Structure 1
Amino acid sequence: MSLHGRWQISIPTPLGRQDVLLDIVHREGPISGTATQGDETVPFIDPVADGDRIQWSQRITKPMSMVIKFDLTRDGETLTGRAKPGFLPSISVSGTRVD
């Protein structure tokens, strides 16, 4: 198994839980991806994969404009880790493979 594929993650926020669909492309060569929440799809910024761990940043505009830094690890069909949204404290993130 690899990080490649579609993942549904849940991010608890002060405005309620945000469900985000990650499309991660990791075959041969560099890793890339996008995150979709509602009608907004944004590309990963500077994604790095090391084994089952992936780190990246992404710029969002909804519900407010900010950059979120992610650090997640795959364990089978599950992703868990932390997200650091702008100036706010880091939060736990979890999700599962959907493809």
Structure 2
Amino acid sequence: MANVDGSWNTVAKTPMGDQAAVLTVSSNGDSFTGTFSGAMGNTEVKDGKVDGDRLTFAIDITVPMPMTLTGDVTVDGDSMNGTVTAGAFGAFPLTGTRA
């Protein structure tokens, strides 16, 4: 299993521009808890799942409008790459480096 725990400096490439946030991950077996904190606010990770080096999760945001985002990233050492999906708005690239 990959070492996924810690704080990650992430950037999502969205139509509103690059959105930076810190994702914290605390794994426990095949699940994880954490927070997602950035300019758009702070929120708890929901449904955090760990599958080897892959993380999937959901976060509820209120800015710019209330919606649930879903993330799917793969950790490779001190970097992560994947996508964040914003419902009908589609999926956007999400990258991160270990803080």
Q: Structures share a fold, TM > 0.5?
A: yes
Q: TM-score, normalised by structure 2?
A: 0.90
Instruction: State the distance in 1 between where 2:88 and 2:78 align.
Output: 30
Structure 2 residue 3 is the aligned partner of structure 1 residue 2: yes
**Partner residue of 2:74?**
73
Bigger Cα displacement from structure 2, 33-42 vs 8-17:
33-42
**Partner residue of 1:38?**
39
Whether the 8 Å CA contact 1:4–1:27 is kept in 2: the answer is no
Counterpart amino acid of residue 34 in structure 2:
G
- Cα offset for 1:29? 7.2
Whether the 8 Å CA contact 1:23–1:33 is kept in 2: the answer is yes
Structure 1: any 5+ residue segments left out of the alignment? none
Whether the 8 Å CA contact 1:83–1:91 is kept in 2: the answer is yes
- CA gap of 1:39–1:5, structure 2 versus 1, over 3 A, is same
How many residues of Structure 1 are paired with residues of Structure 2 in the alignment? 98
Structure 2: any 5+ residue segments left out of the alignment? none
Q: Tell me the C-alpha RMSD between the 2 structures.
A: 1.6
Greater strand fraction, Structure 1 or Structure 2:
2
Instruction: State the distance in 2 between where 1:86 and 1:29 align.
Output: 25
Structure 1 stretches of at least 4 aligned residues deviating more than 6 Å after TM superposition: none
1:1-99 equivalences under 5 Å are 2-27=3-28, 30-38=31-39, 40-98=41-99
